[in-house]
Structure 1
Amino acid sequence: MGVVNVTPDSFSDGGEWFSSEAGVRHGFELLGEGADIVDVGGESTRPGAVRVPEAQELARVIPVIERLAAAGAVVSVDTTRASVAERAVAAGARLINDVSGGLADPSMGRAVAETGAVYVCMHWRGHADVMDSLEVYDDVVADVRDELGARLAALEADGVRREQVVLDPGLGFAKSGDLNWPLLARLDALHALGRPVLVGASRKRFLGRLLATGNGDVVEPARPLARDEATAAISALAAVSGAWAVRVHAARASHDAVRVAAAWAAAGEEPSGEKDGEVGTA
């Protein structure tokens, strides 16, 4: 899943794809690099970001979605608003990627049920301007699993078919640092909920901290664009761990990483007809 931020204030690309023309162009670039899905968003969810009006969000995303979908791309809309999701699906989007998991807009479940679109339900505790204050967990893996399980049940109560839902642990959302690593290492806990899992680690703060330079009191986190190699490493590990997809800003490296992971996993499979302990020949 390649990211197209049609925003002036994204943490990762600083508004580089803000205009509709630039957003469409970047969408095609991502597809050319191997992305299977293009995720178009018109509202930044970077830490501290404030919300934009609905009309502004629509004006940013709908023209880009229409053009990409008309060209045959599989398009996702990154939004927390049911009204935007509905308009985006009408414009050709096939997926709704909601970082709030339906908590930001009580109408989202109904919209997902009525459109029939694939729905990415992310773990979320509050909007970008307050999320860091909500980073309180007893056991981050168990808490995220249980809270996503509760969201899945609520969506089903709204008429959403279980088969529509993909789960996302919400890396970086109310999880600014080391709490992200246990979630990645224990994707099996989310798989236990019985739905595909999307991993969105691309260029996030916890990678900047991991790759920081300096020592003592002067430590400089790696800048977002310097986090793509680490992102690709996570893409490979996530693929081996059974992730359904990875959401990334730079598609080519992660596409190659996933191909390597797939070849590695396939080579490790026991050949047909052999039993444990037997050695096959090439």
Structure 2
Amino acid sequence: LVIGPFPNRMDESLTEDAYPPELWLNETYEYGGRTYAWRAAVGPVLDLHDLLGTDWGIAYLLNYVYSPRSMKAYLVLGSSGGCRAWVNDELVFSWHERHEEFREDRHWVVVNLSRGWNKILVKVEGAWGRWMASCKLLYGDGMPIEGLVWDPYHGFAEAGRPLVRLGNLTLSKEVAGLGERVTVTLDAANLGGVPATLSLKLRVDGKPVASRLITLEPRSSLKVEFTIDTSEVGEGLHVIEIGGLKASLKIVRRRWGLAAVFTWLAAAIVIILALIYALKRARRRRGSAGGRSS
């Protein structure tokens, strides 16, 4: 799991600013007027530029590893700036001598793994070049350790905390005509150990237009839907956002294409022919009625 970017005062933030993730475990944190949430990341090498949208800041990497026995291992770290690491909430490494391009497997740190679950928290600084980080557990010869089981969500289940993840925000259409309705869907999952209640707000260009309250049982998921009435939003390119997930919606005033014109003409011709036919029948009836009366 990854969270950030928190503010970076260069090396001072790395060593002196203890941001909430290194103080306690929670699904989200409020800091500096902003809400931070853990997001899934697949490693061991992480492109934080892609994940966080910047090359500057402080980020935390969190994972839990199950060891079948107590052992010594190498915690192998890579970063493009300074970094710190904790194993089971004990600081085991801190480095901030210089900033340079990312190099995988830069630091080899001997750590003690307990039998059972172990918490690994890494704090990394983005300040130079593309923001990257890596984290592995290896033997001294660089070989992977057999029998380890990784589960980044273990701590949330053990602590009896919810962990809601949102993803796959999609629109039923990315270009819609004015007056049409667009369905917005996203997936919500609770990866934690207790039920979670969450208020989701649909925002268009930063303004809330709808909300839904959902409840998720532990280890469950559901698909959430919202509907946008484009006539209430107006023409133009709009940013659709739910829980930090964003998509673009373009609303246009539909012009009649050739197919629509031909369809309209065909319908008009049919109506005209029907009227002509009805008028002729009416005249014949009047003529027949006049002949009989004379």
Normalization by structure 2: what TM-score? 0.26
Q: Which structure is larger by alpha-carbon Rg, 1 or 2?
A: 2
TM-score between both structures, scaled by the size of structure 1: 0.26
Q: Which has the higher helix share?
A: 1
The structure with the largest strand share of the pair is 2
